[in-house]
Amino acid sequence: MQNIIIYYFSGTGNTKKITELFAEAFGARGAKVTLRDIVSCEAPSVEGYDGVGIAYPVHGFNTPEIVTDFAKKLPCGDGKALFAIKTSGEPLRLNDASSLELSRIAISKGYRFTGERHYVMPYNMVFRHSDAMAAKMLATAKERIPEDARAILNGSLPPLDYPLRARIMTVLCKIERPGMRLNGRLYRVDKDKCIGCMKCVRGCPVGNIKFEDGKFRFGGNCIGCARCAFGCPANAITTGLLNPIKVNGAYNFNADPDEAAIGAYCRKSYEKYFADKSE
């Protein structure tokens, strides 16, 4: 592969960070790389590229629907290589089958699905990792990406292994998609906290937040990307039934990774992830 296009979706910046590290690593190996945000790309093109990447955050053990819908719009692959890059908040194997639907779409469009690489990044929903853990996750990804980029370029990614329980989880968790649309209608803005910056309105990837007649209105298209609530500078957005697991505020990735203390939650999986040479 010499000329690669990577289409990415990133709700709160983690996947974008990883995609940019890949662009650097591919570039260092002499490949030309173009990055495109799925949100602002109406008609995907793969013309002139010999490799296509799709990067996404795992949502409910699946590829987010905004990404699978986008993949359905890809032109015919004519045997081109297509690989996935994904981020998730935890290293559980239940995330392993998240690219299943994406790989099927790619194959049905005539691409060769060559595999995926998976990076653990801090949660933007569920609970807040410490800044030191966030820094350790990013540092781990930085260590691994140059070698992973080499494997993608050489076509030597390991074969995909979709454990049965992960496959079952992806099927069951598809309920998350209509669930997010319904729950999105329950989002609210606390007017006493809101500073009126309109970052939420401008940033929503599906235009689901309107400010009309002095009031915020949340529509029925929410994809649960967490961008509005995570990025609100006043922590003024409540997220309906998901509010108890909301995370607000950017991580400080410049914290000291050596200070990271792995908590009780999924301790073994995190320890294994950090210890593995290649995830």
Site string for ligand SF4, 144-183 (x = CB under 6 A): ----------------------------------------
Task: Map the footprint of ligand FMN across residues 93-112, applying CB under 6 A.
Answer: 95
Residues 57 and 14: their CA atoms lie apart, in Å, by 8
Number of neighbours of residue 196 by Cβ within 10 angstroms: 10
**Between 1 and 170, whose beta carbon lies closer to ligand FMN?**
170
If the CB atoms of residues 98 and 208 are measured against ligand SF4, the closer one turns out to be: 208
Indicate the burial class of 48 (C-beta count within 10 angstroms; 0-12, 13-18, 19 or more).
Answer: exposed
Among ligand FMN, ligand SF4, none, residue 198 binds (CB under 5-8 Å by kind): ligand SF4
| Alpha carbons 144 and 159: distance in angstroms, whole number | 18
Compare residues 4 and 223 and give the one whose CB is closer to ligand FMN.
223
Gap between the Cα atoms of 163 and 9, Å rounded: 25
What is the spatial distance between Cα 205 and Cα 38, in angstroms, rounded to a whole number?
9
Pairwise CA distance, residues 185 & 173, whole Å: 20
Q: What are phi and psi of 105, to 5 degrees?
A: -65, -45
Nearer to ligand SF4, 174 or 177 (CB): 177
13 lines the binding site for ligand FMN (CB under 6 A): yes
CB of 33 closer than 8 Å to CB of 23? yes
226 binds ligand SF4, rule: CB under 6 A: yes
Q: Which stretch binds ligand FMN (CB under 6 A): 116-124, 157-165, 196-204, 210-218?
A: 116-124
Bridge partners of residue 56, in order along the sequence: 86
Residue 12 partner contact from ligand FMN, ligand SF4, none using kind-dependent CB cut-offs of 5 to 8 Å? ligand FMN
The interface with ligand FMN within residues 66-95 (CB under 6 A) comprises 87-90, 95
Given the rule CB under 6 A, which residues bind ligand SF4? 184, 187, 189, 194-200, 204-206, 208-209, 218, 222-228, 232-234, 236-237
